[in-house]
A and B are shown apart, each in its own frame.
Chain A
Amino acid sequence: MSAPHIPILRQGRVHKSLDVQTVNRLGSEEPAAEISFACSDMIKYDLLKMGEARAKLKAMKSADLVEITKKAGEIFLNDDLPIGVDGAMQSPEDYVLSLASTSGLPHSLIRMNMKRLGGIFGQIEDIFRGLTRGLDWEVIDKGYGEQGGAPVSYSATTNELAVILPSNSPAVNALWIPSIAMKVPVLLKPGREEPWTPWRVIQAFIKAGCPPEAFSLYPTQHDGSGAIIRRAGRVMLFGDDSTVKQYEHDPRVEVHGTGYSKFLIGEDEIENWRDYIDTLVESVSANSGRSCICTSTIVVPKYGDEIARAVAEKVAEIKPLAQDDPEAKLSGFANPKFAEWINAAVEEGIKAGGATDVTAEFREGERFQERDGMNYLQPTIVRVNSFDQELAIREFLFPFASVVECPQAEMIDRIGPSLVVTAVTKDVDWINRLFDCPHIDRLNIGNVPTNRIQWNQPHEGNLFEFLYTRRSFQIAAIA
């Protein structure tokens, strides 16, 4: 298949830009896609008209949109869908190959993410119920109704959910998929190397019967992203700690930042630490360690050295393999410089003292590897002597975790903000304290990998509460 042209979608309408950029297959000069770029003022103009797109969805019944969403999931997973502007079609396998060619992700990880995304479509009712605490869809259709015997009314806070998507993880598209059933159109800015997933999800929705007007897709430069962030009614974006800080007081903007997810073993369970090694390995290395829900710090009251060695020995088995190797679990870097920067940061942390790369003993070769024209970082477990060591609480785009010893009584005070915490314990007092801890977003008690999440609970914010606001209302009887 020749490189498709991914156009701009303006409320579903195809716009082929005169500003076209080519994304090459990683490690080659061969084009994988031509991408139409939108100018920022065009996006500003279109944002003014998003009310029309919202009206299209509002006119539909939620029940129909739920069915469309479920159907779209099946289509996304199984059907050939249009790709680009020239009438070409993309099979699910083509999608895997295209995404692999620009993102560096192994095929096996893409298929895993695909399955995960497919699940989101299928679970739409469960997700809505979870996020709304059991609200009847009809309340969204009618604008008001009852919930648990109390009167409720919800109105949309925005005409669009804008999402500035990253290039490194197709699964993040899960975050916006429920928005359609909630009758809020989406405006997506794809990552430069990853137009594939948002495009395919959109095409699946359209094929399933959703109005095309509900979808806007704007590949754009930095100023275009800025226009979206400043102008859209609700914005989701992905960034580092500084981005999170920049928007912490802006209720329109929800930043998905670093997770600093942690795996804690309590004093009551530490003697059984060998039972949790497989869970730890999955938590650290799933999705090539790229997710904010992957464990980046393992906190134990003792046996730090032993646990670090046991995890290191297993993660060291994860090696750079050919992208199409079914066993491949490690992703290359789309931007080869990233691997160099990250490796340098890890090395610097080790040189600072108080940290040992335990994986070095088990893995083949250096952490930094080149293969098939791509740069890789091999999994790394670092044993640190305290929470103050600079690698103790760090998160990188590859399977990386520190192991730190800390008395159980001090753990909650030392872990800091954590998107996911898994605590292996049966100690009820400690469990109660963990539930009370304000800087843990998602809490797993017991032997649950940090990367396994249920979408019917809030994830870095509650999508329904982001898109809808509850108002008080009274309706007098008409005389």
Chain B
Amino acid sequence: MSADEAKAKLDEQVREIIQWHFSEETGCPFWLDWKKEAGWDPREEVKGYDDIIKFPHFQDEWLRDEKNERFVPNAYKYRPFNVFETGGTTGLPKQRVGWDDYKHDYEQFSDTLSDEFFPKGGNWIMVGPTGPRRLRLAVEHLANFRGGSCYHVDLDPRWVKRLIGRKELDQVERYQAHVMAQAVEIIKHRDISCIFTTPKLLASIGERISIPDHGIKGCFCGGTSMTPEYVRFLQEEVLENRAQFVPTYGNTLMGLAVSIPEELPEKNYSVTYYAPQPRAVLRIVDPEKTEVTKEYGEYGRVELTTLTKEFFMPRFLERDEAIRREPHAKYPWDGVGDVRPFGAMTKTVIEGVY
């Protein structure tokens, strides 16, 4: 696919999704009411991705303050929905409704995985936040989609964040050890070839056992930012260069932005992620003037637009910043590189804790 073809496909997706969410028959109460209040009809004015700028930034508080039913498209009115939660530590968490998006996203992601390192039919283990998270169903679906089953070990990141906030770092280590003990037992005694976990947990498992010696060939990782040095450490030392490290960037609201793991060494382990276009788009914006896209090679705030029939979310400002990177032959659209918490250079952010 050429860059022009990718752009045309994205514009087509934008038109289709706008049509869907702002039509009485298929749209959801939230956006239909928004249209009335805004006084303009996006179906008439938004003809492609460049027009998305006409929307204000989506506020994630809406996902907490609005009832979930208001995000149910009329077309899905009679289908019960899944509720997926985002992070959060106190109060009512932010929630997103969904049906099949996670399956589409992870099937699409599956196509990017190497069969050598993520063998078809191989079993998986997921070590990380399960509970109300989309990830829990998504990873199991990924395993099933590739012909395997999935084991789970849960970790509650909200508790970990609280412990860190209270500076109870010994407790963090104890809790991590408790999670690790469960994960290591399963890895030791079951046939597992693929793992999903977070970078910190991966390193922690590697402290206890040789991961490749126990049959794991591929590690799909996500959840937090990673410096190039840390990515190299995970690939070369934790996975001993015998299993493949596949970093991803994503969340409940987006799906998965993928990297190109085989190119990591030549890129000095600087990870660039490509959004699952046309279902979601990542743009690096000037934090002070968010309508302006940063130049290639510059850091800016990450802005996400999600464009599926289940969920329309224009111009959501992520709590991350990243470098705008050039399109890649495999993914002919902008990438986002060296993601780190927004404002990481100026303030302390509790992140990357599990």
Binding site for B on A (CB under 8 A): 17-19, 37-39, 41-42, 44-45, 48, 226, 230
Q: Are B170 and A230 in contact (CB under 8 A)?
A: yes
Smallest CB separation, B116 vs chain A (Å): 26
Q: Cβ of A18: which chain B residues have Cβ within 8 Å of it?
A: 227-229, 232, 268-269
Q: Cβ of A45: which chain B residues have Cβ within 8 Å of it?
A: 203, 206-207, 237-238
Q: Cβ of B204: which chain A residues have Cβ within 8 Å of it?
A: 41
Q: Which of B207, B233, B269 has the largest number of chain A CB atoms within 10 A?
A: B233
Q: Are A48 and B207 in contact (CB under 8 A)?
A: yes
**Complex alpha-carbon distance, A225 and B189, angstroms:** 35
**Shortest Cβ distance from B200 into A: residue:** A41
**Complex alpha-carbon distance, A39 and B234, angstroms:** 11
Smallest CB separation, A79 vs chain B (Å): 32
Interface size on B, residues (CB 8 A): 18
Q: Are A19 and B169 in contact (CB under 8 A)?
A: no
Does B109 have its Cβ within 8 Å of any Cβ on chain A? no
Q: Are A44 and B233 in contact (CB under 8 A)?
A: no
Does B291 have its Cβ within 8 Å of any Cβ on chain A? no
B 196-236 binary contact with A (CB < 8 Å = 1; else 0): 00001001101100000000000000000001111011000
Prevailing SS type, chain B contact patch: helix
Q: What 10 additional pairs, Cβ within 8 angstroms, besides A18-B269, A45-B237, A230-B169?
A: A18-B268, A19-B230, A37-B229, A39-B229, A41-B238, A42-B233, A45-B206, A45-B207, A48-B207, A230-B170
Smallest CB separation, B239 vs chain A (Å): 12
Q: Are B237 and A39 in contact (CB under 8 A)?
A: no
**Complex alpha-carbon distance, A427 and B39, angstroms:** 94
Q: Are B207 and A226 in contact (CB under 8 A)?
A: no
**Complex alpha-carbon distance, A252 and B269, angstroms:** 36
Q: Are A41 and B203 in contact (CB under 8 A)?
A: yes
Q: Cβ of A230: which chain B residues have Cβ within 8 Å of it?
A: 169-170, 173
Q: Cβ of B169: which chain A residues have Cβ within 8 Å of it?
A: 226, 230
**Complex alpha-carbon distance, A39 and B227, angstroms:** 9
**Complex alpha-carbon distance, A18 and B231, angstroms:** 10
Q: With A230-B169, A230-B170 given, is the CB distance from A19 to B227 under 8 Å?
A: yes
Q: Cβ of A17: which chain B residues have Cβ within 8 Å of it?
A: 229
**Complex alpha-carbon distance, A42 and B203, angstroms:** 9
**Shortest Cβ distance from B230 into A: residue:** A39
Smallest CB separation, B340 vs chain A (Å): 12
Q: Cβ of A48: which chain B residues have Cβ within 8 Å of it?
A: 207
Q: Are A19 and B228 in contact (CB under 8 A)?
A: yes
**Complex alpha-carbon distance, A44 and B200, angstroms:** 12
Q: Which of A39, A44, A45 has the largest number of chain B CB atoms within 10 A?
A: A39
Smallest CB separation, B160 vs chain A (Å): 14
Smallest CB separation, B165 vs chain A (Å): 15
Smallest CB separation, B164 vs chain A (Å): 10
Set B200, B203, B229: member contacting A19, Cβ < 8 A = B229
**Shortest Cβ distance from B353 into A: residue:** A223
Q: Cβ of B229: which chain A residues have Cβ within 8 Å of it?
A: 17-19, 37-39
**Complex alpha-carbon distance, A37 and B169, angstroms:** 22
Q: Which of A17, A18, A19, A226 has the largest number of chain B CB atoms within 10 A?
A: A18
Closest 6 CB pairs of A and B: A41-B203, A19-B229, A18-B229, A18-B228, A39-B230, A17-B229
**Complex alpha-carbon distance, A42 and B269, angstroms:** 16
Q: Cβ of A42: which chain B residues have Cβ within 8 Å of it?
A: 233, 237
Smallest CB separation, A216 vs chain B (Å): 15
Q: Cβ of B207: which chain A residues have Cβ within 8 Å of it?
A: 41, 44-45, 48
Binding site for A on B (CB under 8 A): 169-170, 173, 200, 203-204, 206-207, 227-230, 232-233, 237-238, 268-269
Q: Cβ of B170: which chain A residues have Cβ within 8 Å of it?
A: 230
Smallest CB separation, A257 vs chain B (Å): 19
Q: With A226-B169, A230-B173 given, is the CB distance from A41 to B227 under 8 Å?
A: no
Q: Which of A42, A226, A230 has the largest number of chain B CB atoms within 10 A?
A: A42
**Complex alpha-carbon distance, A226 and B353, angstroms:** 13
Smallest CB separation, B46 vs chain A (Å): 42
Q: Cβ of B233: which chain A residues have Cβ within 8 Å of it?
A: 39, 41-42
Q: Cβ of B203: which chain A residues have Cβ within 8 Å of it?
A: 41, 44-45
**Complex alpha-carbon distance, A228 and B173, angstroms:** 13
Q: Cβ of B269: which chain A residues have Cβ within 8 Å of it?
A: 18
Q: Cβ of B228: which chain A residues have Cβ within 8 Å of it?
A: 18-19
Q: Cβ of B230: which chain A residues have Cβ within 8 Å of it?
A: 19, 39, 41
Smallest CB separation, B207 vs chain A (Å): 6
**Shortest Cβ distance from B233 into A: residue:** A42
List 16 interface pairs A-B (beta carbons < 8 Å), by A numbering: A18-B232, A19-B228, A19-B230, A37-B229, A38-B229, A39-B233, A41-B200, A41-B203, A41-B233, A42-B237, A44-B203, A45-B203, A45-B207, A45-B237, A48-B207, A230-B169
Q: Cβ of A39: which chain B residues have Cβ within 8 Å of it?
A: 227, 229-230, 233
Smallest CB separation, B347 vs chain A (Å): 13
**Shortest Cβ distance from A16 into B: residue:** B229
**Complex alpha-carbon distance, A48 and B209, angstroms:** 12
Smallest CB separation, A6 vs chain B (Å): 15
Smallest CB separation, A345 vs chain B (Å): 24
Q: Cβ of A41: which chain B residues have Cβ within 8 Å of it?
A: 200, 203-204, 207, 230, 233, 238
Smallest CB separation, A117 vs chain B (Å): 31
Smallest CB separation, A475 vs chain B (Å): 37
**Shortest Cβ distance from B232 into A: residue:** A18
Smallest CB separation, B297 vs chain A (Å): 17
Smallest CB separation, A129 vs chain B (Å): 38
Q: Cβ of B232: which chain A residues have Cβ within 8 Å of it?
A: 18
Q: Cβ of A38: which chain B residues have Cβ within 8 Å of it?
A: 229
Q: Cβ of B238: which chain A residues have Cβ within 8 Å of it?
A: 41, 45
**Complex alpha-carbon distance, A39 and B237, angstroms:** 12
**Complex alpha-carbon distance, A363 and B236, angstroms:** 59
Smallest CB separation, A229 vs chain B (Å): 9
Q: Cβ of A226: which chain B residues have Cβ within 8 Å of it?
A: 169
**Shortest Cβ distance from B204 into A: residue:** A41
Q: Cβ of B173: which chain A residues have Cβ within 8 Å of it?
A: 230
**Complex alpha-carbon distance, A268 and B173, angstroms:** 58
**Complex alpha-carbon distance, A45 and B234, angstroms:** 11
**Shortest Cβ distance from A48 into B: residue:** B207
Smallest CB separation, A388 vs chain B (Å): 32
**Shortest Cβ distance from B170 into A: residue:** A230
**Complex alpha-carbon distance, A18 and B265, angstroms:** 12
**Complex alpha-carbon distance, A230 and B207, angstroms:** 15
Smallest CB separation, A365 vs chain B (Å): 34
**Shortest Cβ distance from A44 into B: residue:** B207
**Shortest Cβ distance from B203 into A: residue:** A41
**Complex alpha-carbon distance, A226 and B268, angstroms:** 27
Q: Cβ of B268: which chain A residues have Cβ within 8 Å of it?
A: 18
Smallest CB separation, A97 vs chain B (Å): 30
**Shortest Cβ distance from B352 into A: residue:** A223
**Complex alpha-carbon distance, A230 and B237, angstroms:** 22
**Shortest Cβ distance from A47 into B: residue:** B207
**Shortest Cβ distance from A42 into B: residue:** B233
Smallest CB separation, A8 vs chain B (Å): 10
**Shortest Cβ distance from A37 into B: residue:** B229
Smallest CB separation, A476 vs chain B (Å): 40
**Complex alpha-carbon distance, A44 and B269, angstroms:** 21
